[in-house]
Structure 1
Amino acid sequence: MEISLADLQTYRGAAPDEAVVVVDVLRSFTTAAYLFRAGVRALLLAATPDEARSLVRRFPLAATVGAVPGGFPIDGFDFGNSPAALRNVCLTGREGVLCTAGGVRGATVARQAAVLLGGSLVCAAATANLLRRLDPPRVTLLLTGIYADRDGDEDIACAEYIMAHLRDQAPDPAPFERRVRESTFGRRFGDPAYPHLSQADMDLCAQADVFDFAMPIVRREGMMLVVQEGRWRA
């Protein structure tokens, strides 16, 4: 298995036999994992708030979740891009509509991959386990958190942790968890200057292997859906 890293600026598209893990630790695919914990059956990905609202017209019971660049909540949505806001929520049997800057964009640019997964630290080992079972010839870990003002080390750390699992190195999660907290974006969480970025979110995002499922991204009827490994049926 050939393993490589790319970011949204360097990625050139998926080969037909390639697996891609779209890594967004802060916070898209951490939030997605907590949405599955809350009971959603599938997450529909929306590139824009208007697209999200259009999806809600098709799925009127869907919960809208998301943020604009910088992590600010979207006006009129049920939830921000916040795993902490979902800890005590029950959404059993409902769809979710997820609209975020990094994670959704990454899924869109890699949509032709033979295997496409959403990745974050909370489900990293499960993601690696699924990739080992599928055994694709090539895996790209696509980093979504690198911007002019952000080093993206939260995603690099997660990707390197997944890589270590794929290479059967039994990595200690603690250094990778620490890097999430100490990344450029990570240090904004809990800072009063960024009230929309809570310490509670960071405390959830920086925990490795909370969940034992991976999150495949599939295409159905012109839509992209994140699903919970082993529990979703069309």
Structure 2
Amino acid sequence: MKIDLIISAGDIKKEKVLHKSAVVIDMLRATSVITTAMNNGCKRVIPVLTIDEALETAKNIKEEVILGGERKGLKIDGFDFSNSPLEYSRDVIGGKTLIMTTTNGTKAIRGSIGASSILIGSVLNARAVAEKLLKLKDDVVIVNAGTYGQFSIDDFICSGYIINCLKEMTAVELSDVASTANYVYENNSDIKSFAKFAKHYKRIMELNLQEDFEYCCKKDTIKIVPEFVDGEIIIR
């Protein structure tokens, strides 16, 4: 299995994802939200790029809809919830459709179209993602959402953990950047401690989101792997 890594949503190129299994990671916090919401019974998540697209999509859906997301880490005016996974409890999201737009994560998901499979990854479901990739038997590209188009330490260490899980399961051929991510994880397996070096961590602390940070750094608490299929994220 060949494994490559893209360092931010702004660096996605079609040929890098084409016909591969892509794993999109925005651990602080979009993919952690999606994984949590789906684990708590969310019917589907529709990731969109803009606020206007989210509002328009909501108008055209007859079933009960939740609007969620952020801009610069803050809840969007008129939306139901922000980008905190702790808000998406079973009683809130169970059986409903979540329409979501975020600064980095939803851009990375939509930018990965062309991959044979698009999986939603986080620290929360990292080992489950690795197990799913093993079953798919494709080459892999891990897509880091990054932060405002730039490399992000938090997504990178999460990628390293998923790569490390795959190394335990099968023979892998790593690109230089994937090998670096694995090396970083092997020498910093306490994800929470290492992620505190991230610029994104400082922003999370500025917004008093310590609980979100603690939650998003918990390894393998969720066993499902959401997938982006035909414009929506589902479990299949």
Normalising by structure 2, report the TM-score: 0.84
SS at match of 2:227: strand
Letter in 2 for 1:62: V
Q: Mark the CA change 1:158 to 1:134 in structure 2 (over 3 Å): closer, same or farther.
A: same
Quick one: distance in 2 between partners of 1:48 and 1:89? 27
Deviates more, 1:2-11 or 1:94-103: 2-11
SS at match of 1:213: coil
Partner of 2:83: 81
Offset at 1:146?
A: 4.1
- 1:218 lines up with 2:229 in the alignment: yes
**What root-mean-square deviation, in Å, do the aligned CA atoms of Structure 1 and Structure 2 show?**
2.2
Offset at 1:41?
A: 0.8
Q: Deviations over 1:21-48 (max 9, x none)?
A: 1110011010111212332110011111
Q: Mark the CA change 1:187 to 1:3 in structure 2 (over 3 Å): closer, same or farther.
A: same
Partner of 1:102: 104
Quick one: distance in 1 between partners of 2:148 and 2:60? 34
Quick one: distance in 2 between partners of 1:117 and 1:88? 22
Normalising by structure 1, report the TM-score: 0.85
Offset at 1:181?
A: 3.4
Deviates more, 1:209-218 or 1:32-41: 32-41
Is the Cα contact below 8 Å between 1:143 and 1:155 reproduced in 2? yes
Q: Deviations over 1:67-111 (max 9, x none)?
A: 11x211110000001112224643221111111121111111111
Q: Which runs of 4+ in 1 moved over 4 A?
A: 169-174
Offset at 1:180?
A: 2.5
The partner residue of 2:67 within 59, 64, 67 is 64
Specify which structure has the higher proportion of helix: 2
Q: Which runs of 5+ in 2 are unaligned?
A: 171-184
Deviates more, 1:208-217 or 1:180-189: 180-189
The partner residue of 2:195 within 177, 180, 192 is 180
Offset at 1:151?
A: 4.7
Q: Mark the CA change 1:66 to 1:15 in structure 2 (over 3 Å): closer, same or farther.
A: closer
Is the Cα contact below 8 Å between 1:157 and 1:176 reproduced in 2? yes
In the alignment of these two chains, the number of paired residues is 218
Q: Mark the CA change 1:115 to 1:88 in structure 2 (over 3 Å): closer, same or farther.
A: closer
Deviates more, 1:199-208 or 1:164-173: 164-173
Higher relative contact order (CA 8 A, sep 6+): 2
SS at match of 1:165: helix
Partner of 2:117: 115
Offset at 1:147?
A: 4.1
Partner of 2:158: 158
Q: Which runs of 5+ in 1 are unaligned?
A: none
Offset at 1:169?
A: 7.0
